[in-house]
Amino acid sequence: MAKDPQHTDTPLQVTGEHGPSARLLVRNVVPTRPDGLPLVLVHGAGVDSSFYDSFAACAPARRIVAYDRRGCGQSSDALDDDWSLDAQARDLASVIRAAGGRADVVAHSLGAVVALRLLERAPRLFRRLVAYEPPVFCGLDPDDEVFANIERARKALARHRSSTALYLTTQRESIGEPVVPYSERELQCRERNIQTSFSRETWAFDYAPDYDAIRGSGVPALLCIGRQSDATYHARNLDFLCQGLGATSAVMPGGHNGPRDYPGEVAAAILDWLR
């Protein structure tokens, strides 16, 4: 009889240019006979690694490595006060190196921006990348409605009204209500996760990929979009991003949070592409 996968939570110290930068909580799920390279999961804004709990359970043959990004879940805040995108990419690089040095990466929303940034800098850490609805705006028409919405969100953040910024953002993301209720683990750090994203991670509004570096890396990329996201900027930007990144696209069930809301279907489609 096959043994159940081993679940372990381990701390990981990340060092920046001037010393300790963050202490990350890394969750490992290791089957008795892991198939292939580790599968590293990067969560998006307002959540932590619990976002992937059901998804990970639908990939029983893979070694799963999920972590709480700095300021989220059980991970520390930025110990050096570095909340930059480059610091986030450095965190992900440390997780991949600790997991063995090379991995398949599945990254959702803001986490996909972190993964794209690392791919620009250190492509040898990746075998393949799945980017699920990354918030990238640079390919859109300057008159697209999303930019007015971003400006309203910026003003709300400047007035320390992060709840207003959250509302403005989610209204354009096709997030909707969760298909299944939030688990106790998801709710444990939810307020902290949201505050971190909307007070510390405003670089998300300005990120523009280095398309030449990403295409030149030779790392295959899959760009995923939810079936219910056809009215969002993700759909309007899809063809531009696929061309720029040299990525193929796939339509997944649900909206922006498909990996959480429809873990079985999404995991099956992603694992099939990762073969």
Q: Find where tokens 């990340």 sit.
A: 14
CB 253 within 8 A of CB 236: no
For position 163, what pLDDT does the model report?
57
For position 76, what pLDDT does the model report?
98
Residue 232: strand, helix, or coil: coil
pLDDT less than 70: residues of the chain: 1-4, 157, 160-176
User: H-type helices in the chain, by residue range?
Assistant: 53-57, 85-99, 110-121, 145-158, 162-170, 184-188, 190-200, 211-216, 233-245, 258-261, 263-274
The per-residue pLDDT for range 13-58, each reduced to its tens digit, is 999 988 999 999 999 999 878 888 999 999 999 999 999 999 999 9
CB 128 within 8 A of CB 220: yes
For position 44, what pLDDT does the model report?
96
Q: Which domains does the chain have, with CATH numbers?
A: 6-274 (3.40.50.1820)
For position 15, what pLDDT does the model report?
96
Q: How many CB atoms lie within 10 A of CB 113?
A: 25
What is the DSSP pairing of strand 19-30 with strand 64-67? antiparallel
- Length, in residues, of the chain: 275
Give the H or E element holding residue 131. Answer: strand 126-132
What is the DSSP pairing of strand 103-108 with strand 39-42? parallel
